[in-house]
A and B are shown apart, each in its own frame.
Chain A
Amino acid sequence: MSPDHENLEQELRASLRRTAAPPGFAEKVLARAGAPLAFPKPVAGPKPERLRPRQDTILPHSRRAFTLALAAGIAVMAIIPAVVVENRRREEARGLKAKRDLLTALAITRDQLQQAREKVRRTTRNIQ
C-alpha cells in the first residue's frame, strides 16, 4: 500500500468517525420542525396592474344617467313610429269599412226607393 493510500484511508476514517451531537442540537431540530414555514414578506407597494379596476370602465353618475337616457330615447324613437303607423293603419281600415258600409246602406236605400217607385208605376198602370 502506498503512503498516499494510507493517508486517504486515515482521513476517511477520521471523517466517518461517530461523534456526539453538540449540546442542544435535538431541541433546535424539534423547534425548527414545529415552527410555521417562513416565507419572505411581500413587498409593500402599488397593486399589480391586472388586479386594479380599469379607470375607463367606471362612468361618473351623470354620464351613466345620460347614457341611460340616450338609450331610452333611442328605444322610444324606434317604437313611436311603429305605433303611429299601426294606429294609422287601423284607422284607415276602420274608415274604409265605414265607407263600404255607408255605400252599401245608401245602395240598399236607393234600391228600395226605386223599387217602391216602380211598384207605384206598375200599380197605376194596372188601374188604368
Chain B
Amino acid sequence: MKPTLKTLSISAMALCVSMAAAPALLAQDFDFKSLDKLSANATSSTNLTLSAATLQLAAGFLGNDNDKDAAAIKNLVNNLKGIYIRAYEFDKPNEYSESDLAPLRALLKPPKWTTILDVRDHKDWTQVFFAEAENNKLEGVAVVSTEPTSLTVVYIDGELNRSDLEKLSGNMGIPDLKGLTGGKLADPKADNKTDKKSGK
C-alpha cells in the first residue's frame, strides 16, 4: 500500500508524541498503584511522593549554606527528579503477597537496572538496585525490603553521585526517623502518612 500524505502526517505526529512522552514515562517507571492498596491492611503506612519541584522547595527550607549538612542534602537533591517512598507495617504476617511486588520487580531488570545487593535472611529479603548512567553516575536507586510484617520500597529518580549515596547511608545530618516521626514509622501529623494504631 502506498503511503499517503495523511498516513505519513499521522505517523509523524505519533512519533513526536511518543518522543515527547518518553522522559515522562521514564520518570514514572514505577507504578505504585499496585502497592498503594496495601495501606488498607497496614497498621502504619508511609506514602511519600516528592516531585522535583517539591524537592527544590524543600531544599530551600533546609537551612543556610553555611550549614554543612544542609549543603550536602541540597547537593544530593539538586539533580533529582523525584523520591518515592512506600513503607507499610502490618500487625501479622501474610497481609501482602509477593505478587503485589511482582510488577515492581519486573521493572527493576537489566539493562537499565543492576542488582547491587540481594540479601535473603530467613524470611527477610532486601534488594538494592542501581540504574547506571554513562558518566559513572547513577540515574536511579531502588531499595525493596520485605519482612513478614513489613514492606518498604524506596525509589530515587534522577542523577546522583555514588559518593552522595555513600554519605546518605552514613548520617548526613539527617535526623533519626524516630526524631522525625515521633518514634513511629508513620508521622501522624503528616497528611500522606497514616497510623491506624493511633486511630489518626
A120/B55 in contact, CB under 8 A: no
Chain A residues positioned under 8 Å from B76 (CB to CB): 106
CB-based nearest A residue for B154: A109
B46, B73, B177, most chain A CB atoms within 10 A: B177
B177/A98 in contact, CB under 8 A: no
B57/A116 in contact, CB under 8 A: no
CB-based nearest B residue for A108: B85
Selected from A99, A101, A102, A111, the residue in CB contact (under 8 A) with B177 is: A111
Q: Mark A103-116, 1 if CB is under 8 A from B, else 0.
A: 11111111111111
CB distance from A98 to the nearest CB of B (A): 4
B175/A94 in contact, CB under 8 A: no
CB-based nearest A residue for B147: A115
Interface size grouping (class) on chain B: 35 or more
Is B181 close to A, CB under 8 A? yes
A112/B62 in contact, CB under 8 A: no
Q: Known contacts A100-B180, A101-B190, A116-B119; is A109 also within 8 Å of B61 by CB? A: no
Q: Mark B107-149, 1 if CB is under 8 A from A, else 0.
A: 0000000000101010010101000000000000101010000
Q: Known contacts A98-B50, A98-B54; is A113 also within 8 Å of B124 by CB? A: no
CB distance from A68 to the nearest CB of B (A): 42
B61/A107 in contact, CB under 8 A: no
B154/A112 in contact, CB under 8 A: yes
Is B83 close to A, CB under 8 A? yes
B-contacting residues of A (Cβ < 8 Å)? 94-117, 119-120, 122-123
